[in-house]
Chains A and B, each alone.
Chain A
Amino acid sequence: MRPSKVPLITLILVLVFFYLPIGFLVMNSFNKSRYASNWGGFSTYWYERLWERTDILAALGNSVKIATMASLLSMVLGTAAAFALERYKSKLQDAHRLLVTVPLVLPDILMGMSLLLLFVSFGAQLSLYTITIAHVTFCLSYVALVVQARLQDFDFNVVEAARDLGATKTQAFIKVTLPLLAPGIFAGGLLAFTLSIDDYVITYFVKGPGSDTLPTLVYSMIKKSKDLPVINALSSLMLLVTFAVVAVSQRLTRPPATPS
């Protein structure tokens, strides 16, 4: 039986489709010409311009600060949520589960709008803190989702084994449960970090004046059609970092070779 080639061809086309725009960006970042439709020769001019943009560096700093805080806080809250959801079956957990799910399905714009209205109603000053709160809110749900998936595969017999061997509840948690779940929690945190760095819509709604993150700054640059090739250079550098992180994490998480 010859399997149909259609699905495989679709998959290849999809991957080409995924990487074509990214390749286009990288190519254009080395384009001497200001216009994407004109190849003006190879140049690192835009990278030099990028280096002079202190506002971009400041926005990058904001983004990293927010993402770090948001991912750490959401790791704690999300892990606690996952444990409670997995461990207890009650009306309280049904409500809990519903609330954890809402940020996963609510369109960004509603999330941003609702938080903006909350902050405005309470007279809160829009700042990096309001952005962080917003980011923790949606990251929490993703961390809970990832950790809960790990918990479902978790063999609780090992905890009982630890207790059987004389560990207290707390010792069993710290010495057995946590190390085994650490990869899951860490994966959740990494996801939270990327989601936070990537977010534009929610940030745009809850950010105060002057508290730009990288996406909001880039967006306003695009809107003003200002220094577009600089954005290409910036994107290419961000891609490089992404690929480096992916490569390293692949190397770190590669399962040890098992005899077949």
Chain B
Amino acid sequence: MASYLRFENVTRRFGSFTAVNNVTLDIEHGETFSLLGPSGCGKTTLLRMAAGFDKPDEGRVLLDGKDITPLPPEQRPVNTVFQSYALFPHLSIRDNIAFGPKIAKWAPEKISRGVDEMLELVDLKAHADKKPSQLSGGQKQRVALARALVNKPKVLLLDEPLAALDLKLRQRLLVELDAIHDEVGITFIYVTHDQGEAMSISDRIAVMNKGVIEQVGPPVQIYEAPRTSFVAAFIGDTNFLDGKIIDCIDSRFSRCEVKGFGSIVIDNDKPVSKGDRVHLSLRPEKLIVSREQPTTKETDNAIAGKVEDVIYYGSHTRYWVRCGDWKLCAEMQHRQYQLDETPPKWGDQVWLKWHANDGFLLEQYREEDEGMLTLPDAV
């Protein structure tokens, strides 16, 4: 697939701090692409370099094959939806949306047609003559979207556009945003620190940390096959295990010894050989908690432990289970209110069961990423 917006070896430093470190990234035409990462990871700097508010110290930004690096923001065919919306408080909603077209000297009838279309698109016709201060947060957000889209940008940049809204509204607008993307069909670049937003709206996600991209891929891949401990810990929650390969069972499975835990079967999703040290990410919802010793196949793992913490979340419950030197987090969904079996309680002896390919081998592990896990292991 052809690259539409391309960051090529882009570096941006602020004093001694490197905000973006030699990033190369290709974004395709028409996709919704998310830049996801914690604050200070460089995602906003990358976006600002696409918009033209910031210039890379090294590297180039290409749009549709053209080098746009030297262009000031007003000359770039991209528009931004700002985090704080940045609506002009002295202008009505209509005039806010008409700002770009007026600057571009569109014919008056074309302006009014374009603005009306946009008001229709974001369902704000009834509020056209109000001032921004008279609108709710969600409405302001939609005006910001309309004001950017009316200019028919080649790429729409969204800088944490929902961050200022409450959870329910955020979820609703996310659906709307997705619908609008389908309607206008232009490339969206979506910056967020909220993994839920990124997962639900994106065709592809780039996970950023400390100025570099840790992984690029569709949401499923990012979640199920994290390349690094950072990606595994930042997106969702997980358990990290480290061990040594003691036996290569066949081409698909190996046996791995985890110190103070026992030996477990793992899936060879990366090539391994006997004696290798490996790091494994194991998502809590993949672990099955039961009181009775579960029946296992050859490729299943079952480990005995004791429940040390229980937190009830409504739709699911989390258990922290002590297994030897390790404490694992497991999550159980509640499908029925009246359970056949009374759920495990604090202090209960339980079994944890998972299939070998529920775990995923990491290419890169950093101990500091353990800090992002909920109730990190306190051995």
Contact = CB atoms under 8 A, between A and B. Distances in A.
Mutual binders A and B = yes
B257 interface: no
Contacts of A1: 52-55, 72-73
B12 to A, nearest CB: 13
B225 to A, nearest CB: 39
Contacts of A2: 72
A245 to B, nearest CB: 36
A2 B71 CA distance: 11
Interface in A1-29: 1-2
A1 B68 CA distance: 12
B297 to A, nearest CB: 56
Contacts of B52: 1
Interface string B52-96: 111100000000000000001100000000000000000000000
Interface in B14-66: 52-55
A2 B52 CA distance: 10
Q: Give the interface size class of chain A.
A: under 10
A2 B54 CA distance: 8
A6 to B, nearest CB: 15
Contacts of B53: 1
B43 to A, nearest CB: 19
Say whether chain A's binding surface is mostly helix, strand, loop, or mixed.
loop
Interface in B93-138: none
A1 B75 CA distance: 11
Contacts of B73: 1
A2 B73 CA distance: 10
Nearest to B74: A1
A1 B74 CA distance: 10
A1 B52 CA distance: 6
Contacts of B55: 1
A44 B55 CA distance: 56
Contacts of B54: 1
B70 to A, nearest CB: 11
A1 B53 CA distance: 5
Nearest to B71: A1
A5 to B, nearest CB: 14
A1 to B, nearest CB: 5
B270 to A, nearest CB: 42
B354 to A, nearest CB: 45
A1 B70 CA distance: 9
A215 B172 CA distance: 69
Nearest to A1: B53
A2 B72 CA distance: 8
Contacts of B72: 1-2
A1 B72 CA distance: 6
A2 B55 CA distance: 9
Nearest to B72: A1
Interface string B201-243: 0000000000000000000000000000000000000000000
A44 B292 CA distance: 102
A182 B327 CA distance: 57
A43 to B, nearest CB: 50
A1 B55 CA distance: 7
Nearest to B48: A1
A2 B74 CA distance: 12
A1 B54 CA distance: 6
Interface string A139-181: 0000000000000000000000000000000000000000000
B340 to A, nearest CB: 54
Interface in A74-104: none
Interface string A112-152: 00000000000000000000000000000000000000000
Interface string A209-247: 000000000000000000000000000000000000000
A2 to B, nearest CB: 8
A76 B73 CA distance: 55
A25 B73 CA distance: 48
B40 to A, nearest CB: 14
Nearest to B51: A1
B54 to A, nearest CB: 7
A202 to B, nearest CB: 39
A21 B72 CA distance: 41
A193 to B, nearest CB: 39
B68 to A, nearest CB: 13
A76 B72 CA distance: 56
A1 B50 CA distance: 11
A1 B73 CA distance: 7
A182 to B, nearest CB: 36
Interface string A184-210: 000000000000000000000000000
A1 B51 CA distance: 9
B90 to A, nearest CB: 20
A3 to B, nearest CB: 10
7 contacts: A1-B52, A1-B53, A1-B54, A1-B55, A1-B72, A1-B73, A2-B72
The 7 closest A-B pairs by CB, nearest first: A1-B53, A1-B73, A1-B72, A1-B52, A1-B54, A1-B55, A2-B72
